[in-house]
């Protein structure tokens, strides 16, 4: 009897197939986790800036890790030229220091 005949050969091929499947699944899961962590959504907000003494539009970048979501950085601000050359202490990152730009408009009823 040859060593690679019968049930042993089938079991060996099945073991390699299972191992290959698990490796592929682990790689897919790792890529999925990296894609989620690499996502860095930006928040665009318009409000009154006390430093510039006018309404500004600011793009905030969130932290990449979900655990650090509250940490924000200012990516660009319309008070500066160019908007990415931010030269203030970035007090706008603190939500308590921001004021809304304008009250929401009331709906107009036409008859």
pTM greater than 0.75? no
Helix, strand, coil share (%) of the chain residues, nearest 5: 35, 25, 40
The first and second tokens of residue 80, run together, are: 């500066």
pLDDT recorded at residue 34: 80
Check whether 101 has a pLDDT greater than 90. Answer: no
Residue 32 has pLDDT above 60, yes or no: yes
* pLDDT: which is higher, 89 or 46: 46
Higher pLDDT, 30 or 98: 30
d(CA 69, CA 90): 18
Closest CA to 24 of 12, 34, 32, 14: 32
For residue 111, the model assigns a pLDDT of 58
- pLDDT tens for residues 1-28? 455 566 887 888 899 999 999 999 999 9
The model's pLDDT over 37-82, given as tens digits with 9 standing for 90+, comes to: 666 677 888 888 877 888 888 888 876 665 655 667 788 888 888 8
């Amino acid at each position: 009897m040859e060593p690679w005949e019968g049930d042993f050969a089938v079991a060996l091929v099945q073991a390699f197939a299972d191992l290959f499947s698990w490796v592929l699944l682990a790689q897919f899961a790792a890529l999925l986790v990296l894609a989620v962590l690499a996502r860095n959504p930006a928040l665009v907000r318009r409000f009154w800036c006390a430093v510039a003494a006018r309404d500004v539009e600011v793009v905030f970048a969130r932290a990449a890790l979900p655990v650090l979501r509250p940490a924000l950085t200012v990516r660009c601000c319309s008070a500066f030229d160019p908007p990415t050359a931010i030269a203030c202490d970035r007090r706008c990152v603190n939500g308590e220091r921001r004021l809304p730009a304008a009250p929401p408009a009331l709906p107009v009823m036409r008859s």
